Chain A
Amino acid sequence: MNPLAALFVRDFRLAVRVGGGALIGVLFFLIVVTLVPFAMGPDLALLARVGPAILWIGALLASLLTLDRLLAIDHEDGSLDLILTAQVTLELTVAVKAVAHWLTTGLPLVIATPLLGLLLNLDPMATGAVALTLLVGTPALTFIGLIGAAITVALRRGGLLVAVLVLPLTVPVLIFGVAASNAAIVGPVRFGTPFSILCGLALMSIVAGTFAAAAALRHAMD
């Protein structure tokens, strides 16, 4: 088996087994979004209007919650030392880790979105639009988070610092994610315009996140 495939299988297994982070993010997402209707009251029109924004904020916070599982956990038990002595390009390693992380923590958020759309009084078309923007946007969140995770890897319990570092960088993704969702629901802009920018942001984050995280890891070792 190829070393990168072995790494992918291992990270996937770790996430879905006991103590893994796969369900934490999606459960947090469910709770945050469920709380909003209770806080805002049963104003259906208002819920439908702010629904996409609530779903996006929920997904953003949920994806932050599991970032410490991306690299810090491997640093704590010494796995990262061995990863750095492998004959595998570090950029590919961090990219594979991020992909496995997204599949176990980002994709479940997208899958849970249709259910949560019901709670926020979103019609099927609007729910579909939000799910589609999350499908494109959550990889961007994961790879931006990868940078923060790599920079804070040597700090014990750097979880909160990661959030502070990462959240400002996610602002463009959030803006265009919510803008594309709203465009599909109320207009007047065409869905394609903000959605294309969101796709561009996602592709850029994947490339920049991979190289920045590998560079940060190389310099963070001590």
Chain B
Amino acid sequence: MRLLGSGLACFRGGRQVFSGLSFSVAAGEALVVLGPNGVGKSSLLRLVAGLVARSGGALSLEGGDPELTIGEQAHYLGHQDALKPSLTVDENLTFWSRYLGSGEGTQAPSAQAPVAQAPLAQAALTAVGLAGIAQLPAAYLSAGQRRRLSIARLIAIKRPIWLLDEPTAALDLAAQAQLAGFMGEHLAGGGLIVAAAHGPIGLPAAKELRLGGPQ
């Protein structure tokens, strides 16, 4: 599996955010997008996820499921947590694992896959250390806990591409190390990661894509 972008351009809010951007990430590789604020790191991730229209260039996924868009095979972890304050931690995660987990796509998930999702969500909660507060409404979570709950989503559902926008924001050192472990496992399992960051995020072997100043 290989994610290829060539000559990508993005136009948002009447402004050329970036243009002529090319990269290539293979299975088991990570790409860290670096650059100052406002240079288009988040826009690039949203563009790959299909949440922002591409104004130029080509984006392709070799070895992916041809029936699905790239966004449908990717986890997008943005600045917003997509958590509902009135639902409990468990309800939030279980909803996303059911909704994102088994599509009507032709990936042909085995018949028992939907049944297995709820325990998988439990395991993911345990992995990020939130199992003890699974019944707490998400409104009472701290910023770091909300982030960990979002990260649990990445583990509960298997998707080959991870698009992470400043994944270590709000995380304490232990949780950052934990996230690095999750990312390492994902890469070892043949996944690929594109992450936007300002500093090291625990991926020493990652390729770097440096975006220039605003144009």
A and B bind: yes
Residues of A within 8 A of B (CB): 1-3, 6-7, 9-10, 13-14, 17-20, 76-79, 81-89, 221-222
Q: Is the beta-carbon distance between A77 and B49 smaller than 8 angstroms?
A: no
Q: In the complex where A87-B68, A88-B99 touch, is A79 in contact with B82 (Cβ < 8 A)?
A: yes
Q: Is the beta-carbon distance between A82 and B84 smaller than 8 angstroms?
A: no
Which residues of chain A are near B107, meaning CB under 8 Å? Answer: 87
Closest to A17 in B: B86
Q: Is the beta-carbon distance between B49 and A81 smaller than 8 angstroms?
A: yes
Closest 3 CB pairs of A and B: A87-B103, A78-B80, A6-B98
Q: Which of A2, A10, A85 contacts B91 (CB 8 A)?
A: A10
Q: Is the beta-carbon distance between B104 and A87 smaller than 8 angstroms?
A: yes
- Contacts A10-B84, A77-B80, A78-B80 aside, 16 further interface pairs with beta carbons under 8 A come to A2-B102, A2-B114, A3-B102, A6-B94, A13-B87, A20-B86, A77-B81, A82-B100, A84-B50, A85-B72, A87-B103, A221-B52, A222-B12, A222-B13, A222-B52, A222-B53
Q: List 7 A-B contacts (CB under 8 A).
A: A3-B102, A7-B95, A17-B87, A76-B80, A82-B82, A87-B105, A88-B103
Which residues of chain B are near A88, meaning CB under 8 Å? Answer: 99, 103-104
Q: Is the beta-carbon distance between A19 and B103 smaller than 8 angstroms?
A: no
Closest to A93 in B: B99
**Most chain B CB within a 10 A radius of its CB, from A9, A77, A81:** A81
Q: Is the beta-carbon distance between A77 and B84 smaller than 8 angstroms?
A: yes
Q: Which of A76, A85, A87 contacts B49 (CB 8 A)?
A: A85
Which residues of chain B are near A78, meaning CB under 8 Å? Answer: 78-82
Q: In the complex where A13-B91, A77-B80, A222-B12 touch, is A85 in contact with B100 (Cβ < 8 A)?
A: yes
Nearest CB of chain B from residue A87's CB, rounded to whole Å: 2
